[in-house]
Amino acid sequence: MGEIRPGDIVGRKSYGSDILFRVERIYEIANEKYALLRGLDMRLEADAPLWDLEVKEPIEILEYKNRFLEKYRAKIRMAAADREHQRRFLNFGDKEEKKMLFFEVPGRVIHIDGDKEYLNKCMRNYMQLNVDAVGFYVPEKEQPQRVKDILLQHNAGILVLTGHDGLKKNAENILDLNNYRSSKYFVEAVKAARQLKPSRDDLIIFAGACQSHFEAILEAGANFASSPKRVLIHAYDPVFVVEKIAYTYFDEVLNVEDVAKNSITGEDGIGGIETHGQFRWGYPKAT
């Protein structure tokens, strides 16, 4: 095996390479070299000694990505089916000729992400799902300082605060924010956003990443958060949560269980509180 370098895709031998990571940087502690790792598809940050890492071949990386691809495609199909059901029956019943006079106004999204590559992928998926979104790459620790300015500059009813997180190795108390890599930044960013928009209906917030402190993020003012069971969440989970919010009618209370199940990871990774949707009909449609 050659020398491991930043940018390599690796697995941890001690975990059976169950998750693949990109090496962010190499550092040294007490004459032993370590790598800071960020999940290839999971929003997880971790450290590992170089001796525990193995560089993956392109075919292994492709097979790994393909395992998630079908789950992603299934969620796209589910979202499309749910939206068609809403278009067909919401307010108009079967009166197709009346529906043609109206236009759709789904909720708008501000997505702040601590991973530039994940942000770009999410923005492409928003476009595919026809969700009006604007994205900002902001490292997790800077999000509490940046979120207010971004909210003041852009009008949106949905805010995503995400990136990478993880329980620190050998952490015994999962209720202690100091045992998480980024949860305290998500908590502070949610609090900052709530100083501008206190109502959970005026601004719907999803915050968190892999293994995040679910309870603390909700208590700070988020509507939805990760991770109730401290599991890993997929990079696209925020997108599917947001799509459900954006296309649920404004006077309808979202079924929290449905929102969680709408994500790739499911209810072990996503949870929240009762929240109104953001979708509205407009009239008349321009010709």
Rounded CA-CA distance 95/88 in Å is: 9
Q: What is the pLDDT of residue 207?
A: 98
Report whether pLDDT(122) > 80: yes
pLDDT one-digit tens code per residue, 174-203: 999 999 999 999 999 999 999 999 999 999
Cβ neighbors of 171 (< 8 A, separation 6 or more) are: 179, 180
Angle of helix 237-246 versus helix 58-89 axis, rounded to 10: 10
Q: How confident is the model at residue 91 (pLDDT cuts 50, 70, 90)?
A: low
pLDDT one-digit tens code per residue, 9-22: 999 999 999 889 99
Report whether pLDDT(72) > 80: no
pLDDT one-digit tens code per residue, 222-274: 999 999 999 999 999 999 999 999 999 898 999 898 888 888 888 999 999 99
Q: What is the pLDDT of residue 152?
A: 97
Q: What is the pLDDT of residue 95?
A: 55
Percent of the chain at pLDDT above 90? 67
What's the rounded mean pLDDT across residues 145-156?
97
**In the predicted model, what is the mean pLDDT of the chain?**
89
Between these two residues, 168 and 191, which has the higher pLDDT value? 191
Using the 8-state DSSP alphabet, how is residue 250 labeled?
A: T
CATH placement of domain 71-282: 3.40.50.2300
Q: What is the pLDDT of residue 85?
A: 63
User: Pick from 38, 37, 204, 236: which is nearest to 108 by CA?
Assistant: 204
Strand partners, 159: 110, 205
- Which of the listed ranges 27-36, 59-68, 190-199 does the model predict with the highest average pLDDT? 190-199
What are the residue boundaries of the structural domains of the chain, listed by start? 9-56, 71-282
What's the rounded mean pLDDT across residues 45-66?
91
What the block records as the tokens of 152 is 């003041």
Any idea which residue has 């620190």 for tokens? 168
Between these two residues, 157 and 95, which has the higher pLDDT value? 157
Q: What is the pLDDT of residue 90?
A: 54
Is the pTM here over 0.85, yes or no? yes
Rounded CA-CA distance 277/201 in Å is: 8
> Alpha helices of 20-136 — where are they, by DSSP H?
58-89, 96-99, 116-128
Between these two residues, 35 and 92, which has the higher pLDDT value? 35
Report whether pLDDT(98) > 80: no
By DSSP bridging, strand 20-29 and strand 9-12 are antiparallel
Q: What is the pLDDT of residue 86?
A: 62
Report whether pLDDT(93) > 60: no
